[in-house]
Amino acid sequence: MAWSHETLAGTIRGRVIDSLDAIPLYGATIRIEGMQLGARSNADGNFSIQAIKPGNYRLLISYVGYKSVNISVAIPTDNSTVNITISLLRKDVNSNAIIVSAGKRTQSIQEVPVSVALLDQQSIQQRNVNRIDEVLRYVSGVNVARDQVSIRGSSGFALGIGSRVALLLDGFPMLSADNGDMKFDALPMPEIQRVEVVKGAGSALYGTGALGGVVSLFTRTPADTARIMIRSYAGVYTQPAFDQWVVHDAPPPLYGLDISYSQRFDNLEFTLLGGTRYDKSYRLTDQSRRYNAFSKISYTFDEHARTTLTGIINVAHEDKGDWVFWNSLDSATRPPTSSNPDRMTLSSKAMMGFNLRHLFNDNGILNIRSGIFLTDFDNYNLLPNEEAVASNAQSFNSEIQYSRSLFSDVFLTTGLNVIVNRVEAPIYGTKQQRFISGYAQTEIKPGIEGLIMTIGGRVDHEQTEDADQHFVISPKIAGSWIAPFGVQFRASVGRGFRAATVAERYAALRFQGITVQPNLSIRPEYSISYEVGASTALPLSESADMLLMDIAVFNNAMDDLVEPSFTVTGNVQFLNVTAARVRGIEIGLRTQLSNGFGIETSLTYMDPVDLTLNQTLPYRSSILWYSRLSIPIFEHIQFQTDYRYLSRVELIDARIAALGFIADADARVAIHVCDMRLIMNMQSMIGTPLTLTLNAKNVFDYYYSEIMGNLAPNRQLSIQGEILL
């Protein structure tokens, strides 16, 4: 590491580079120790921390895959600028990654006492994805079925209602007020810079919905220089191998365009993003057209950079066919005969929020966050007397969080949270659900080198009109210890819960032969997550080559699980039906080699048991195995392949097959999906700031289903170009 000074005016400016080849490091974290001030390096490796009082400071510079360094910096009394260059040595990934969501504050991943998967900008960008589920499908222990995320077996099949995983965008909750589900198309993917997946019950900090874990998305922080990104893709689904499944005269196309602009001007940062997508789909009546826009504006008020106000607006609109399930396995790309092929769904989502962050002189941090997430959907092109499924819902969320060090070895995070969900639907009128919550978490360093204990809990009061109110207490105790021999050990016990959504309580809809009946007496569902884990990094050579290893043993005990249940009359009703237990082991290996070659693999084995019926918990795979290989072919061309294996779901609800609502509901196989891509960096090859990617998803055209009566996408070929100015 080397650094040098020259004085200018009141600011620390610098550049972070790789010690071996001097390439700039994009996204390195620079923090002033003890002050909660910091910055991230931009695409040129540059960073700037402004308005710092004169004095002596210690900077901590971290970057994924590199050794963290501490350096001393003196700000002269004339408020000069200090310029530094920091060269980082490559090391291992685990020791330097920064995690925000696990403890609702910035901390090193090694201090986090639960399993966390971190996907940084590079790994997101390289996968060439347009939806967040395409990223999550390759996170160890995570399974995605349509718009439903399951972490370590937390969810099965729930008609897309009631996510057991919380979803946050820059800290703002993104579960809909009516169905409590995720809207993947509403997320500004091109601006997502990092994804954190916290595994296990997270209700001690996040309250309802965090039964199985938390997925947090963070958008990009603008750099001093303007960043203009134009990304476009176009491709086709290849025709299925079976004539019965061919429903289009030509391979159905898909294409999209995103344009974004971001820049920082002194105290003002802003980001604008707009995009559109079209997908004809490999199935009939499943086409979709989407539009989305995102804007984030952040202003730092005072000269000491202690008060920052950030506003976010994110909107998305979707016009899509009303696909529910197939006609039969023999005609798996067609909807059921007698369904209305012209029926369409219009769906709009909008999220608006602000975040006021103030740093007090005693280094306490006050975060005030308030936002609203609006969702609206309705059907059109209906037949006479055909019933529309429509809903208009608003989720208001306000939170005040205060964090500070009480003593040198104790850190406190505390907050209050109010959520109001208001739903207006023709089938059940207007309903309101309200949560009032308080939480506190203390992190203590009890004097043993490397040991951090975490104790906390949250109290939630939930009230939905016409229904019983519920008090829920979600405690948590956890610890992490970085042993002197370089292994991080962690252990945690925490409680999670999810209150039933408005849709689960009041839904009284009828669609394609399925009648859903309301249930006002439904109770929240609970989980208790136990986990013990360890991680370390082993050197593979005398250079920076490393093998990163992580192992976790977990046991998630769940009770009062709300499942869509087929009653004896054939109707569906959401009931508290099941006590369950999912225990298992998760092993992750990842190489980091200096020649660009890389492999990562994760294996999750689970034993999901329905304790009520003493049988396997339905709709769960017991083995998840995800692997990835990166091979540099030439200097500027890289080949990547991802392989995803999920063992055959052992059990589905036999009543569904028996009642005949979904033909061939029991058609299921193990999932083997292989994606391949060739990434060509044209900037390095011809001097144009263009990255071209040739994508082949499900390259072996493997046919499978992730949920009953739905054939998953077959092979998709596409080309994507991204220009970065």
Partner 1 sequence: MLSSQTYMNDRITIFFALLLLLISCSEGLAPPEPEAKVGPGLLRGTIIYVGGKDNWMHAPDSVIAVRAAGFTTYPLPDSAGIVNELLEGRAIISGFQSLPLFVDSASFEIPIQKPPMTLQYFAIAQQTSTDLNDQTIIGVYSDKPNFAPLPITIGSGDTVNIRIMVDFKNLPPQPF
Q: How many residues bind partner 1 (CB under 8 A)?
A: 57
β-pairing verdict for 671-681 and 192-199: unpaired
Q: Which is nearer to partner 1, 86 or 247 (CB)?
A: 247
Query: Given the complex with partner 1, which of 33 and 387 has the nearer CB atom?
Result: 387
* Residue 397 CB neighbours (<10 A): 23
Please identify, using beta-carbon distances, which residue of 359 and 575 lies nearer to partner 1: 575
- Is the Cβ of residue 293 or residue 674 nearer to partner 1 in the bound state? 674
Q: How does DSSP assign 643-655, residue by residue?
A: EEEEPPP----HH
Q: What are phi and psi of 79, to 5 degrees?
A: 55, 40
**Nearest-approach distance from CB 654 to partner 1, in angstroms:** 16
CB-neighbour burial class of residue 455 (10 A; exposed 0-12, middle 13-18, buried 19+): middle
Residues 243-302 within binding reach of partner 1 (CB under 8 A): 244-245
Instruction: Say if residues 117 and 199 touch (Cβ distance below 8 Å).
Output: yes
34 binds partner 1 (CB under 8 A): no
CB of 631 to partner 1, least distance (A): 7
Q: How far is the CB of 100 from partner 1 (least distance, A)?
A: 33
- Please tell me whether residue 631 binds partner 1 under the rule CB under 8 A: yes
- Residue 329 binds to partner 1 (criterion: CB under 8 A): yes
Of 223-231, 263-271, 405-413, 698-706, which part binds partner 1 (CB under 8 A)?
Answer: 698-706
CB contact set of 717 (below 8 Å; sequence gap of 6+): 235, 236, 238, 695, 696, 697
Per-residue burial over 531-558, b = 16 or more CB atoms within 10 Å of its CB, e = otherwise = bebbbbbeeeeeebbbbbbbebebbbbb
- DSSP output for 590-631: EEE-TTS-EEEEEEEEEEEEETTTTEEPTT--SEEEEEEEEE
- Residue from 356, 418, 629, 685 touching partner 1 (CB under 8 A): that is 629
- Which candidate, 719, 592, 583, 566, places its Cα nearest to that of 655? 566
Q: Does 692 sit near partner 1 (CB under 8 A)?
A: no
Q: Does 623 bind partner 1 (CB under 8 A)?
A: no
> Does 627 participate in binding partner 1 (rule CB under 8 A)?
yes
Three-state DSSP at 184 gives helix
Cβ neighbours of residue 632 under 8 Å, at least 6 residues apart? 595, 596, 597, 638, 639
- Please give the backbone phi and psi of residue 659, each rounded to the nearest 5 degrees, phi first: -80, -15
User: Using the rule CB under 8 A, which residue among 89, 226, 487, 670 binds partner 1?
Assistant: 670
Six token digits for residue 43: 């695409």
Report how far Cα 226 is from the mean position of its chain's Cα atoms. 27
Q: Say whether residue 717 binds partner 1 (CB under 8 A).
A: no
Question: What is the nearest approach in angstroms of partner 1 to the Cβ of residue 242?
Answer: 5
Of 13, 67, 404, 672, the one binding partner 1 by CB under 8 A: 672
Q: Which of 56, 72, 77, 338 binds partner 1 (CB under 8 A)?
A: 338
- Here's the x/- map for partner 1, 490-519, by CB under 8 A: it reads as --------------------x-xx-x----
Q: Among residues 476 and 668, whose Cβ is nearest to partner 1?
A: 668
Nearer to partner 1, 268 or 508 (CB): 508
Give residues 554-573 in contact with partner 1 (rule: CB under 8 A).
569-571
Q: Tell me which of 262, 310, 622, 705 binds partner 1, using CB under 8 A.
A: 705
How far is it, in rounded angstroms, from Cα 340 to Cα 381?
9
Q: Report, in Å, the least distance between residue 451 CB and partner 1.
A: 35
Q: Out of 341, 426, 446, 486, which residue is the one contacting partner 1 (CB under 8 A)?
A: 341
Is 667 among the residues that bind partner 1 (CB under 8 A)?
Answer: yes
Would you say 101 or 339 has its CB closer to partner 1?
339
| Cβ count near 249 (within 10 Å) | 7
In sequence order, the 6+-apart residues with CB closer than 8 A to the CB of 688 are: 682, 723
Contacting residues for 660 by C-beta, under 8 A, at least 6 apart:
none
The SS3 assignment for 502 reads helix
What's the token pair of residue 287? Answer: 């086409």
Does 542 sit near partner 1 (CB under 8 A)? yes
* 328 lies in the site for partner 1, by CB under 8 A: yes
Q: Which residues bind partner 1 (CB under 8 A)?
A: 242, 244-245, 327-330, 332, 336-342, 383-387, 510, 512-513, 515, 540-543, 545, 569-571, 593, 595, 597, 599, 627, 629, 631, 641, 643, 659-661, 663, 667-670, 672, 674, 700, 702-705, 711
